[in-house]
């Protein structure tokens, strides 16, 4: 497949594994890159030193000896949510470790794109509207991820779905567009291509893979979700798609239904809920972030199996 996304990242298939908090360590990222896609390390859940460790482990796993005897490293990237608390330190690590591809999200593309471009990196920004896609183009990013309402975890306020968002973003910018949200099957990749996307970013299916660092309880809970088993909640704070069937989700839904204020929601949410749910596997007290297609994923597969089913 020759397209701008494959060229931009020097990858075989225009399939990117989202850099998901508590799921996307070096194991998942390197496994996807080894199979010809682009793996991303999710910096959002890592302290700076931990991020450095994951970048180094990923590089090691992806380094190979080329036919001419020189060593090379297959491409991988790092996803950085721009509300990260130790941003300056994180950016220094990306430079020091020679990271070549950075996906930024949850913030303005203007703030860090010039810095990353100066250091020779390829920069992609995640958007949920075509207004933001235009801002990305002005800021000098190389591509955008257009992420729809179906996506797990943090989500746009406008609730625009992938079906509606991708054609709008493609019309608004000349940048290559990567579709995200509601994509886990090959037919959904084909659908996104029809909408104008040149690549896809897949979260949920990789979050539930063998190589994902999410807790087994998290994977089991998500694999058992029925159709309609996720819900966009926390709308007064930052909207996030959560799995149903847990005490935390039920409480949040009930509070919202009853008109709880932003402050009441923030007080109940507290800190560390995503870690508790995704990494520690505490389903009832943690935040179980997962996408709407979770009902279409029914078993834990290896990344190799997933990539094969998406590209065969």
Interface with its own copies (CB under 8 A):
129-131, 148-150, 157-164, 167-168, 181-183, 185, 187-188, 190-196, 227-228, 231-232, 236, 257-260, 292-293, 295-296
| Segment holding 177, helix H or strand E | strand 177-180
Give the nearest distance from C-beta 152 to its own copies in angstroms. 12
Query: Toward its own copies, which CB reaches closer, 74 or 135?
Result: 135
Give the nearest distance from C-beta 162 to its own copies in angstroms. 5
Answer whether 209's CB lies under 8 Å from 28's CB.
yes
Chain centre to alpha carbon of residue 1:
23
Query: Toward its own copies, which CB reaches closer, 216 or 312?
Result: 312
Give the nearest distance from C-beta 17 to its own copies in angstroms. 19
Query: Toward its own copies, which CB reaches closer, 83 or 171?
Result: 171
Query: Toward its own copies, which CB reaches closer, 193 or 304?
Result: 193
Query: Toward its own copies, which CB reaches closer, 52 or 205?
Result: 205
Please choose, from the candidates 26, 191, 9, 211, the residue with its C-alpha nearest in 3D space to the C-alpha of residue 103: 9
Query: Toward its own copies, which CB reaches closer, 62 or 200?
Result: 200
Q: What letter would DSSP give residue 282?
A: -
Give the nearest distance from C-beta 135 to its own copies in angstroms. 14
Give the nearest distance from C-beta 208 to its own copies in angstroms. 15
CA dihedral 100, 102, 108, 114 (to 10 degrees): 0
Which residues are within 8 A (CB) of 136 and not within 5 positions of it... i.e. 6 or more apart? 109, 125, 127, 144, 173, 175
Give the nearest distance from C-beta 166 to its own copies in angstroms. 8
Residue 185 CB neighbours (<10 A): 16
Query: Toward its own copies, which CB reaches closer, 116 or 133?
Result: 133
Residue 120 CB neighbours (<10 A): 9
Give the nearest distance from C-beta 165 to its own copies in angstroms. 8
Please choose, from the candidates 225, 216, 220, 175, the residue with its C-alpha nearest in 3D space to the C-alpha of residue 199: 175
Which residues are within 8 A (CB) of 206 and not within 5 positions of it... i.e. 6 or more apart? 17, 18, 20, 23, 24, 28, 32, 212, 303, 306
């Amino acid at each position: 497949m020759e397209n701008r996304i494959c060229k931009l990242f020097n990858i075989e298939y225009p399939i990117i594994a989202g850099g998901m908090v508590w799921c996307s360590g070096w194991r998942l990222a390197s496994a996807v890159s080894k199979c010809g896609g682009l793996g991303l390390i999710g910096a959002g859940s890592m302290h700076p030193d931990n991020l450095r460790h994951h970048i180094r482990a990923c590089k090691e796993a992806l380094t190979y000896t080329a036919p001419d005897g020189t060593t090379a490293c297959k491409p991988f990237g790092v996803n950085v949510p721009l509300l990260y608390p130790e941003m300056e330190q994180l950016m220094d690590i990306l430079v020091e470790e020679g990271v070549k591809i950075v996906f930024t999200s949850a913030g303005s593309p203007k703030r860090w794109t010039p810095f990353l471009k100066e250091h020779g990196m390829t920069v992609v920004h995640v958007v949920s509207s075509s207004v933001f896609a235009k801002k990305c183009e002005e800021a000098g990013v190389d591509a955008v991820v257009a992420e729809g309402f179906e996506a797990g975890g943090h989500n746009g306020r406008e609730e625009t779905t992938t079906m509606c968002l991708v054609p709008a973003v493609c019309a608004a910018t000349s940048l290559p567009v990567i579709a995200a949200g509601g994509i886990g099957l090959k037919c959904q990749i084909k659908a996104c291509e029809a909408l104008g996307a040149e690549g896809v970013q897949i979260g949920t299916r990789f979050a539930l893979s063998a190589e994902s660092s999410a807790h087994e309880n998290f994977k089991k809970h998500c694999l058992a979700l029925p159709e309609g088993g996720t819900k966009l909640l926390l709308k007064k704070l930052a909207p996030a798609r959560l799995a149903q069937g847990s005490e935390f989700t039920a409480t949040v839904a009930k509070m919202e239904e009853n008109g709880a204020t932003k402050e009441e929601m923030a007080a109940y949410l507290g800190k560390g809920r995503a870690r508790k749910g995704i990494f520690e596997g505490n389903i009832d007290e943690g935040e179980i972030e997962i996408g709407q297609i979770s009902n279409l994923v029914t078993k834990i597969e290896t990344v190799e199996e997933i990539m094969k089913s998406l590209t065969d």
